[in-house]
Amino acid sequence: GAVVSQHPSWVICKSGTSVKIECRSLDFQATTMFWYRQFPKQSLMLMATSNEGSKATYEQGVEKDKFLINHASLTLSTLTVTSAHPEDSSFYICSASGRSYGYTFGSGTRLTVV
Amino acid sequence: ELKVEQNPLFLSMQEGKNYTIYCNYSTTSDRLYWYRQDPGKSLESLFVLLSNGAVKQEGRLMASLDTKARLSTLHITAAVHDLSATYFCAVDLTGTASKLTFGTGTRLQVTL
C-alpha cells in the first residue's frame, strides 16, 4: 500500500530558530500534499495544500511567511517553521494524495519550542 | 464552508457493549473517511465510503454512509479494550483529491 514517510518524529528547538519537517511519498507520486496541525485533544486543522511545482495554498489564518511549504517534486514536500515560538509547539502531520482517491498520512512530527 | 460534526465527543463504554458514533456534515459529498488515532500517533485509515448506502465492516467496526441525510455512522459491536482510541470522520468535496475536513473526533474509552 501507499506509504508516506515523515521526519523527524519529534524535534525540540529554541525560540527564534527554524525547523524543517520532511514528508516523502515512498511508493507513489503525490500530486497533492497537505499539512495539518493538531493541538492536544483537538482535531486536525488543515494548514495548507501544495501541488508539485506550484505555490502552496494556505488556509485562512495561517501565516505563509511563518510556515514555508515547498513541494519541489512528486515525492517530497517540506514544511519549515520559521522563527519558532512556544505557541508553535504542536503535532504536525502531512498527508499525500496521488492520482486515485484517498489520502495517506505520515507518522507525524511533534514539535516543542522552548 | 463545509462543517463536520461528530457525536459524542467522548464515549466511555464497557467491554462487550455496542455503541454508535455519528458523523454529520453540512455539504453534499459522496466520500467519507473514518480514521483511528492512538495517543501520540498519526492517523490509521479504517474505512472509505464512496457512495450512498455504502456499508463496510472490519472486525468489530462497521461504517455506513447516507449521503441524503449527510450522515455516517461507525458502529462498534462487543467492544474490547483494544478499541480505545480517538475516531475521526472526514469528508472531501470533489471528484479528485481535495482537502479533507475533519470532524471533531470521538474519544472512545473501553473499560473492563
Convert the pLDDT of each residue in B37-56 to its tens digit.
999 999 999 999 988 889 99
Closest CA of chain A from B78, distance in Å? 26
Size of interface A-B (CB pairs under 8 A): 48
Question: What value, to the nearest 5°, has the Cα angle with vertex A42 and ends B48 and B80?
Answer: 60
Nearest CB partner across the interface for A46, out of B31, B88, B99:
B99
Judged against a pLDDT cut of 80, whether residue B1 lies above it is answered with no
Nearest CB partner across the interface for B105, out of A43, A106, A107:
A43
E strand or H helix that includes residue B91: strand B85-92
Neighbours of B44 (CB within 10 A): 12
Distance, in Å, from the CA atom of A64 to the CA atom of A62, rounded to the nearest integer, reads 6
Mean pLDDT of A30-43: 93
φ, ψ dihedrals at B81, nearest 5°: -55, -35
Judged against a pLDDT cut of 90, whether residue B25 lies above it is answered with yes
CA B7 to chain centre: 10
Provide, as residue numbers in chain B, all residues whose Cβ is less than 8 Å from the Cβ of A106: 42
Distance, in Å, from the CA atom of B50 to the CA atom of B4, rounded to the nearest integer, reads 17
Cα torsion A97, A98, A104, A105 to 10°: value is -50
Q: With bands split at pLDDT 50, 70 and 90, how would you rate the model's confidence at B60?
A: very high
Q: With bands split at pLDDT 50, 70 and 90, how would you rate the model's confidence at A101?
A: low
Mean pLDDT of B84-106: 85
Q: Do A102 and B105 touch (CB under 8 A)?
A: no
Q: With bands split at pLDDT 50, 70 and 90, how would you rate the model's confidence at B95?
A: low
Cα torsion B20, B22, B28, B34 to 10°: value is -70
The larger pLDDT score, comparing residue A31 to residue A113, is at A113
Nearest CB partner across the interface for A32, out of B88, B97, B101:
B97
Q: Considering only alpha carbons, which residue of chain B is nearest residue A33?
A: B99
In this complex, is the C-beta atom of B21 within 8 Å of any C-beta atom belonging to chain A?
A: no
In this complex, is the C-beta atom of B67 within 8 Å of any C-beta atom belonging to chain A?
A: no
pLDDT of residue B65: 94
> Who contacts A60 (Cβ-Cβ below 8 Å, separation ≥6)?
none
Closest CA of chain A from B58, distance in Å? 18
Q: In terms of Cα–Cα distance, which of A25, A72, A71 is closest to A48?
A: A71
